[in-house]
Structure 1
């Protein structure tokens, strides 16, 4: 049994939604029930640079190693990392400061290639300073664009946040919105993207600005029972459906967790 499979066993025991935040002080947990943001705290101290979840396992990129939790965070023998994510088969991908990208399958890492300045990994795509790259077998294939900051796949369609716009891959890359986008996320029928000043949500074929109760820059969005977001300054947000809230009103709720320097969010 691999280290990832062992951590999945722990994840299966949870009943509440748990969000994991990568921060300069460590891996923080935020426990959420419906629209209620409950207990939060540090699960592991480190300089955490990215975080992803894989069927209950929590994988973190830190300045010392790639770690896997959630009960005890243990190294996966990759070394210092700047980004973690998954491929389309659910295997873990990681990248280091040199741009090396590797896949963890079973108990082994396989190098896939090297790109310039990796910023994010998701669903078999890599966002880097020299564009978007796609995992192709045991290698990487250039998918175009420049200065990519983040990637996501919405209903099978890749999305990319770049320094000059938000793009969708169709017959080539099509720009959905102009601007310097820093984050993009997708899950089910949801898709969100953020600049330093605003959060946008895909509504049908277009993108509209989200009216948040705070003005801090959003750095991460993920999905579960509700839509979850976090700001760089450490404010956690929940957008709850009216049916999941006690007052039936729904909408965005926010709570400061007192941890600045947040860079990523993943929900188990």
Structure 2
């Protein structure tokens, strides 16, 4: 989809609609906002143009790891923060963290980032927490990087070639398998895992380039017997999954958004290439 194919109304992506959930997809073309109602994937448009590697939401705010900078989104304004190019962003206890150029840093705001012109930097400073290269994800207080899993203070907590993490369980997606924490890191499934997510109600999903796996309802633990392959209505590589109270959302690298609200998967192609991450910031589980 080219810029000319997106209508003016679609570009005004922050207009509130009753009964809809807004999902945000980080893609090579920009940050897409997608309206979802129940299991119907509706209107979508670009909230920010330019390559976006990651997106994370907290308390009505969105952070995006864009090609040019970490940008902080308030309403329909995405303001630069001065970090530079980032590969991952995440929130922990209300504080924004980002990774890029061999470091993980936290953003300390100084004033209201919603006040000012679009191109004015959001007021605040970045402070390096620790140095590490090739960060793939920041989730809550855990960093997934090529050298393994780290806390935000730089403490190494195991594994290698970590691609994603679900700290609440915890679960870790790595280049040689899916792991869960028991008596040390335990094998869950072998494979080239790229994404993992878990919810407080016991739901969990993990994805390789070839398959999406779900934790079977009623499973005891997170070992190999707990996982089943998901039958999806589309082909493609699932790159991320997110949850609502009664729905599961997913996105493929090819830019197809899927939702399952209990009656099977529904899908819609966004026509946007190189989808990377998915966030549903308005959902409280």
Give TM-score, length-normalised by structure 2.
Answer: 0.81
Contact 1:197–1:215, Cα closer than 8 Å, also in 2: no
Q: Does 1:79 align with 2:84?
A: yes
Cα distance in structure 1, aligned partners of 2:63 and 2:35: 18
2:160 corresponding residue in structure 1:
146
Q: Secondary structure at the match of 2:276?
A: strand
Match status 1:254 vs 2:267: yes
Counterpart-to-counterpart distance in 2, 1:186 and 1:18 = 20
Question: After alignment, is 78-87 or 190-199 more displaced?
Answer: 78-87
Asked whether the equivalents of residues 157 and 170 of structure 1 are also in contact (C-alpha less than 8 Å), the reply is: no
> Does residue 44 of structure 2 align to residue 24 of structure 1?
no
| Residues 17 and 224, structure 1, Cα contact 8 Å, conserved in 2 | no
CA distance in 2, matches of 1:49, 1:229: 16
Deviation at 1:14, TM superposition (A): 6.5
1:184 maps to which of 193, 196, 202 = 196
- Please tell me the root mean square deviation across aligned C-alpha atoms, in Å: 1.6
Provide the residue aligned with 1:159 in structure 2.
Answer: 171
Contact (CA 8 Å) 2:169, 2:198: kept in 1 or not? no
Q: Give 3-state SS (helix, strand or coil) of 1:213's partner.
A: coil
CA distance in 2 between counterparts of 1:263 and 1:140 reads 25
| 1:221–1:265 Cα contact (<8 Å) kept | yes
Q: Deviations over 1:28-65 (max 9, x none)?
A: 11000111111011111011011111122111001111
Match of 1:53 among 34, 37, 57: 57
Deviates more, 1:68-77 or 1:142-151: 68-77
Q: How does 1:159-238 map to 2 (within 5 A)?
A: 159-189=171-201, 190-203=203-216, 204=219, 205=221, 206-225=226-245, 226-238=247-259
Residue 108 of structure 1 deviates from its aligned partner by: 3.2
Instruction: Find the aligned partners of 1:91 and 1:152 in 2 and give their Cα distance.
Output: 18
- Counterparts of 2:125 and 2:17 in 1: how far apart (Å)? 28
* Structure 2: 5+ residue stretches without partners: 1-13, 110-123
Structure 1 unaligned spans of 5+? 1-10, 242-249
Q: Is the 8 A contact 1:161 1:193 kept in 2?
A: yes
Q: 1:102: which partner in 2?
A: 105
Q: Is the 8 A contact 2:52 2:64 kept in 1?
A: yes
